Structure 1
Amino acid sequence: MAAPPSLKPVQTRSQSPSTFPSPPTTPSGKVNPMSPVRPTISLHQPNSKKGSSKHNKIFRRVRAVFRSFPIIAPACKIPVSLHGNRLHDGHVHGGTRMTGTLYGHRKARVNLAIQESPGSLPVLLLELTIPTGKLLQDMGVGLVRIALECEKKPHEKTKIEDEPIWTMFCNGRKSGYAVKREPTDEDLNVMQILHVVSMGAGVIPTGDGGDQPADGELTYMRAFFERVAGSKDSETYYMLNPDGNNGPELSLFFVRI
């Protein structure tokens, strides 16, 4: 299946036309994820997804508080050498390949969705207090390292990816917070539109060609990530580039201290 008209994927996965219904379009033929008639969500459950999460109420409460935090535009341009940290072929031994998508309106907070595959529901969805455009711009300049830290509690049995809120550091500088949340209809709509995109970047139209949203265009960047679990209190996601070292770089570190 070809990718939606307004997207610019690098690679796509072929699917049967009957498997995934086409998303709604505007009169001009552009994909419109914000249309009142939303596409049917056909994303499948990931293998590791539980039937229900007992933390949903906590996430909603934390998110309500998180929304009151200001959007922070940190300088994430500290050059960091990669020599010795990763293999030349871009693969990390002992890691699990995942699909990661950064998306959001350029002037609004960026979202990070981690999926087992482009056609599955997210296993992790984070909202960061960094504008989408700022993060993508800094990634174009050089390596961006984001460290997410939270407090380790005695006798805590919560999985590290289920922690509701994190203190965020961008290239060593405190840069606000990140919060885990459940996907909304809009999030699922974006994932559905991108379900045929394996890697790439582009803009998803959000209207009928009229005025641009106040928060700017809805942009996305999707890539493969290598997930490496160091221990029950640490986990890392490394962005993989098909062209070696000549692409955007992002590493995310989850640490309980």
Structure 2
Amino acid sequence: MSASIAQDLQQQQQPQPQLQSQPVSPLATPSPSRPQISLQQPSKKSKPSKPGKLYKQVRSLFRAFPIITPCRVPVPLHGNKPQNGHIHGGTRMTGTLYGYRKARVNLAIQENPRCLPMLILELGVPTGKLLQEMGTGLTRITLECEKQAVEKKKLIEERLWTMYCNNRKVGYGTKKEPTEEDLNVMQLLHAVSMGAGVLPTENTDMPDGELTYMRAHFERVIGSKDSETFYVMNPDGNSGPELSIFFVRI
């Protein structure tokens, strides 16, 4: 028994082979998780075809007839009356108001929740204040811009807007290119069609408060090349919108 114990002690006293430490790859260090952007490009609708020669000939023929003015009969305005949460003649889109509570609110317009935003505006009012204003009832936001004599562009491509909220001037709205944070918000909400809440953020200090959002279906109604309106329909099924955003070029 003593001989076996001595052999064990000798084996323990022999130098053991040392393991060489392997350098740690920088890719092994954990990084904060970011959502992978999988948003799609908005669909490019085909331009309307130009009228053919036959159509022009028929139109010129009708213009040769004398104009008869009919009697004017008052007709009730039911053109934009909401039916089943949808405005006749409007195009359904996705609209999102989001931002830190004490910072300026952003407005993003998308064809659907899985598309890249076609418009992002930074509005001149804090997020918390606008959400509080919307909680009191019907809210109307008017964004006005001036016509440019030389450069002609689409209405939603204008960059600077004067903002009014319920007939009170509250500052300005500025169009901006989507930042990494904007795309992360859109990606986090890609499965949300409508709702409101708080989004997770990497900013642990949060001096401007929590990152809140409100998403809903927008009905886009184009009045002319200088006027567009986005209506947020009441999800309870009541008649009339609860939020209206008017874009006007004057």
TM-score, length of structure 2 as denominator length: 0.70
Task: Call closer, same or farther: CA 1:155–1:37 in 2, change over 3 Å.
Answer: same
Residue 218 of structure 1, aligned match among 211, 222, 231: 211
In the alignment, does 2:223 pair up with 1:254? no
Q: Once the 2 structures are TM-superposed, how far is the Cα of residue 174 of structure 1 from its aligned partner?
A: 1.0
Helix, strand or coil at the partner of 2:87? coil
Answer 1 or 2: higher relative contact order, Cα 8 Å, separation at least 6: 1
1:147 is matched by which residue type in structure 2? T
- Deviant stretches of 4+, over 3 Å: 83-86, 245-248
Alpha-carbon contact 1:140-1:247 (below 8 Å) kept: no
Which runs of no fewer than 5 residues in structure 2 stay unpaired? 1-30, 46-77
Q: How many residue pairs get matched?
A: 188
Alpha-carbon contact 1:43-1:119 (below 8 Å) kept: yes
Partner of 1:131: 126
Partner of 1:241: 234
TM-score, length of structure 1 as denominator length: 0.68
Deviations 1:161-210 (A, max 9, x none): 000010011111111000111100000001001000011011012148xx
Q: Structure 2 matches for 1:97-246, cutoff 5 A? A: 97-207=92-202, 212-245=205-238
Residue 46 of structure 1, aligned match among 32, 42, 45: 42
Q: How many angstroms apart in 2 are the aligned matches of 1:101 and 1:39?
A: 18
Which runs of no fewer than 5 residues in structure 1 stay unpaired? 1-34, 50-82
Alpha-carbon contact 1:88-1:244 (below 8 Å) kept: no
Helix, strand or coil at the partner of 1:139? helix
Q: Once the 2 structures are TM-superposed, how far is the Cα of residue 231 of structure 1 from its aligned partner?
A: 0.4
Q: Once the 2 structures are TM-superposed, how far is the Cα of residue 244 of structure 1 from its aligned partner?
A: 2.0
Helix, strand or coil at the partner of 2:133? helix
Alpha-carbon contact 1:142-1:248 (below 8 Å) kept: no
Q: Which moved more, 1:134-143 or 1:154-163?
A: 154-163
Task: Call closer, same or farther: CA 1:132–1:48 in 2, change over 3 Å.
Answer: farther
Percent of counterpart pairs with the same letter? Answer: 71
Q: Once the 2 structures are TM-superposed, how far is the Cα of residue 92 of structure 1 from its aligned partner?
A: 1.4
Task: Call closer, same or farther: CA 1:150–1:169 in 2, change over 3 Å.
Answer: same
Q: How many angstroms apart in 2 are the aligned matches of 1:92 and 1:156?
A: 32
Alpha-carbon contact 2:80-2:87 (below 8 Å) kept: no
Alpha-carbon contact 1:43-1:192 (below 8 Å) kept: yes
Give the alignment's Cα RMSD to 1 decimal: 2.3
